[in-house]
Amino acid sequence: MAATKAAPKIVDPTFETVKIERDKGVTFLIMNRPEKRNAMSPQLHLDMNDAIDHLSIDPHTDVLVLTGAGKAFCAGQDIRLYFRGTATDPAARAKARRASNDWRWQKLSKFPKPTIAMVNGFCFGGAFTQVSACDFAIASNSAVFGLSEVNWGIIPGGIVSWNVGQMMRLRDAIYYATTGEPFKGKRAMEIGMVNKSVPANKLKSEVMKLARLMQQKSPAAVKYTKEAIRAVRFMNEPEAADYLNAKSDALKFIDKEDSRGQGMSQFLDEKSYRPGLGHFERRNKAK
Ligand code: ACO
């Protein structure tokens, strides 16, 4: 009998405020300060930067899921440690702010694999940035969102106002940012903050369904597609057309699986699938 190949043993670094868990190519990146509702301390920002650097070049991560430990997704910036704790130390504040923006937006929105925000509970203030940075977001119906900054006398800073101006309709962004009114998962779906909202006991299975689907798509085509969609929003039409032509050409060169060739021949020659109704079979997986 042929010996079954053991799954590779993956040893991840450990962090004070972040956990990494794995399930066959789907990597869970978990904000892990449950007793503080995963509020973002300066240490959490540093840990997240290191964890994302590690995972962004990890060949065993096909899809990244960002979530929170316990009953919160993330209660925003830690008002005690991030705001009060650095108020009299400009260097510490600058370091924390840079680390905060780096992982929540720069690194997450450019992560080379599909990313899913699994919003399991409270999601306030600064946490809207990492939800916006992920390619997909799925919330629990019981998750509570809030642009709560106004409730304690600040504006949605960092880049939260910019994020919600893009994700939501302008009327909703201004309404929720100026009233600070909390809203739940289904409302978050209606106003464009998340793709879907599902009962709490279905949250993980919905996320895994989407993650498993994305594992079957061409990684190169998905990476270039998400980069293109984000990039062309800030271009005019001739710039976008030029960028997309160049991006399409580049894809042919970087795609080690020749997804385009496989997709075409499985449709035209083998007639084994319909591109309009589903994806081709990846027979040529490259890591
Ligand atoms: N900053 C600092 N500490 C926090 C934060 C936060 N953002 N959120 C929760 N905590 C702490 C609480 O102070 C408390 O600490 P303690 O046990 O030492 O007293 C602990 O986490 C648990 O919080 P509770 O309020 O007791 O938990 P509860 O489940 O009742 O409420 C909730 C949770 C609704 C999230 C509440 O803590 C809250 O309103 N937090 C602030 C949310 C917010 O407005 N965030 C935006 C910050 S601004 C920004 O991100 C730019």
Residue 224 to residue 150: CA distance in whole angstroms: 38
pLDDT digits (tens, 9 = 90+) for 214-256: 999 999 999 999 999 999 999 999 999 999 999 999 999 999 9
Q: Can you list the alpha helix ranges (DSSP code H) found in the chain?
A: 42-56, 90-101, 108-109, 127-133, 160-167, 170-179, 185-190, 203-216, 219-232, 237-254, 259-268
Find residue 197's DSSP bridge partners. Answer: 139
Q: How far does the centroid of ligand 1 lie from the alpha carbon of residue 35, in Å?
A: 9
Q: What is the mean pLDDT of residues 96-106?
A: 97
Q: Does residue 4 come out as left (phi exceeding 0), alpha (psi in the -120 to 50 range) or beta?
A: beta
Entry pTM: 0.96
Q: What percent of the chain has pLDDT over 90?
A: 95
Backbone dihedral angles phi then psi of residue 11, each to the nearest 5 degrees? -110, 115
Q: Whose CA is nearest to atom 31 of ligand 1?
A: 37
* Ligand 1 atom having least distance to the Cα of 126: 50
Of residues 137, 286, 112, the one with CA closest to residue 210: 137
Q: What percent of the chain has pLDDT over 70?
A: 97
Q: What is the mean pLDDT of residues 197-214?
A: 98
User: Is 33 a pocket residue for ligand 1 (Cβ < 6 Å)?
Assistant: no
Q: Would you state the pLDDT for residue 8? A: 67
User: Is 40 a pocket residue for ligand 1 (Cβ < 6 Å)?
Assistant: no
| DSSP assignment string, 231-286 | HHTTS-HHHHHHHHHHHHHHHHHH-TT-HHHHHHHHHHTS----TTTSPPP--S--
pLDDT confidence of 6, banded at 50, 70, 90?
low
Q: Would you state the pLDDT for residue 1? A: 46
pLDDT confidence of 284, banded at 50, 70, 90?
confident
pLDDT digits (tens, 9 = 90+) for 109-166: 999 999 999 999 999 999 999 999 999 999 999 999 999 999 999 999 999 999 999 9
Find residue 74's DSSP bridge partners. Answer: 123
Contacts of 33 (CB under 8 A, 6+ apart): 17, 39, 41, 44, 69
> Which amino acid, one-letter code, is at 195?
N
User: Is 79 a pocket residue for ligand 1 (Cβ < 6 Å)?
Assistant: yes
Q: Would you state the pLDDT for residue 285? A: 85
Mean pLDDT of the chain: 96
Q: How far does the centroid of ligand 1 lie from the alpha carbon of residue 159, in Å?
A: 21
Of residues 155, 208, 213, 144, the one with CA closest to residue 181: 144
DSSP 7: P
Domain boundaries, the chain: 18-215, 219-277
Q: Which superfamily does 18-215 belong to? A: 2-enoyl-CoA Hydratase; Chain A, domain 1 (3.90.226.10)
Q: Would you state the pLDDT for residue 286? A: 77
Calculated CA dihedral for residues 152, 158, 161, 163, nearest 10 degrees: -130
Residue 273 to residue 157: CA distance in whole angstroms: 48
Q: Would you state the pLDDT for residue 287? A: 61
